[in-house]
Structure 1
């Protein structure tokens, strides 16, 4: 390789080097997640003294879920960043080795030979100018590679140290869920809008072959008190999803078997907390057809929100719950720290193994729930 060509090739490599892929430091994100888990652990201790233990424990469970989700994302980004650096090293290894060889041969060549440029003295001068321009860039590149190697070491150490934080977070979340279930079981202070009618619900369950038939058969209640009235339509675009997750299918979107359902299907983490998106009266809770455990909420007269697929459901028919109240837990098995770490670093989709179905019905007909939740699909 001639000297001029070698210098031009080196310049191209230096100019084409891409900046770091991660705009936000993944190591910082994972450390912040570890701090969130520690804060949630402190909140669990404080919940014992709270006047409203249910509300405090609900917030604590959500804090653990947010911390673990942030840890998962931080570790995923750390793994992606590490692989990107390794791929960059691998892709440029041969080019850099060749150029280093050229530069070493230049250094060992006698000075008179270096002055013998085919274009004469002018070419020699131009070559010297190019080399003087490239040398600082080469030094900067070396420093950049050194920093990347240090970053890889930091990311690997971070993944190894994450296990302790994960154990703390997973154990704390398990404790908080158990305490929340007990606190809800002991609660007797929720307002009661009407009394449960078990005989009517039993008859309706026995005679209904579809969710639509069951929902349509719920006995309309008298108009709600003024204190409970809500303009549900005015809330479009403002409601949080009942659980943290990813929308898998939208309203009337066919699944792999061609089946369409008039609601949203949400993929969630195992044991994810499910909360009421809006203040509402519980019209039904319990198993229903093939939907698993179902919670039917009535946010306003003539409107029903069906939330189905939970492993546990909280509350009693007729109770009035506020927005953000825990109404259930998803099923599944919580992974241990090692499994959690492996799934995070491998980018496995197994974490969202549970599915929650959400349907909104107005005037006995299903409507698209998405406008109320302003959801996006990954």
Structure 2
């Protein structure tokens, strides 16, 4: 039986991923051809022949303890492992894992598979399944699905996967039914149906505009009867930027806004802007707050915030050093004071334009998920960013993903 051998090994781009894929294909090829019992020298020769000229050049640079090790398959494979898969930075790998979000139109199974692959290099140990489960809840793109997952008191990875697959399947089925229904209607009168839909929508909008403010309607949002534009599902705010901020993806928000949005996950509402002079009731209630807490998710939210801070791409020692330097940095302390008391005119102008992205977590000043570096440590951080000679673009990307300097764009 003749089988087509695997493709040659690519030593450009993501070399680690290319090598692991090639190694698995080669081992499957050897098993399929029944060559397990053949001498190692023959299997090494087959490996180098299939891998190609570049892999042969790399093989010729290997230094073996004994001359006969050149013809031992396990030794040769371990040499290629060391060359193509260098030791990984655990903090950085965990940061990459925690930053993985489900993209638009990405199937859930692809998202799950990528999470499992990234988790292999994070050294989670016994917490591997629970960390993958948490990232599914955090990274799934469907807000309604995330709300259902958060309702589960004893959520396991298996349960989360079943719920996500069921939700995705149901959406596909509903989409199929809608397409079939639209196709059946279009067979009779495509043009008339399209005109009818547009006209019906325009008529409903016109009727809604003509309704007086005192009219009582059956609301589809909250399921009750009330006056026009007085639905409890409408939330009014006098902070206009918040209307745009909450439309961002959860991973793009600062931890301070993430805490707010996670508290609001259980509600289906529309945020609208209203000038503060018209928010009379909210202003009166803010002057007489209640001592009774109505939130049952505060502890879970705090755990999430602590988890975000623990997976930052920095060691515990360096993290403590940044916390201490932040406490001594007069500029950053002034920024923190402005965050608590309000920004004064001309104060910390380099941070003023990003003030909505700033937050404080365990003594660290963060811009979204990036650490704001104090003045005394900036030169040291720049030297660490340039370690490894990654090139200009990779060094810039590495800096933008993990730290924020006063002059960093």
Instruction: Tell me whether the two structures share a fold, i.e. TM-score over 0.5.
Output: no
Give TM-score, length-normalised by structure 2. 0.20
Give TM-score, length-normalised by structure 1. 0.22
Structure having the higher strand fraction is: 1
Q: In terms of Rg, which structure is larger?
A: 1
Q: RCO (CA 8 Å, sep 6+): is it higher in 1 or 2?
A: 1
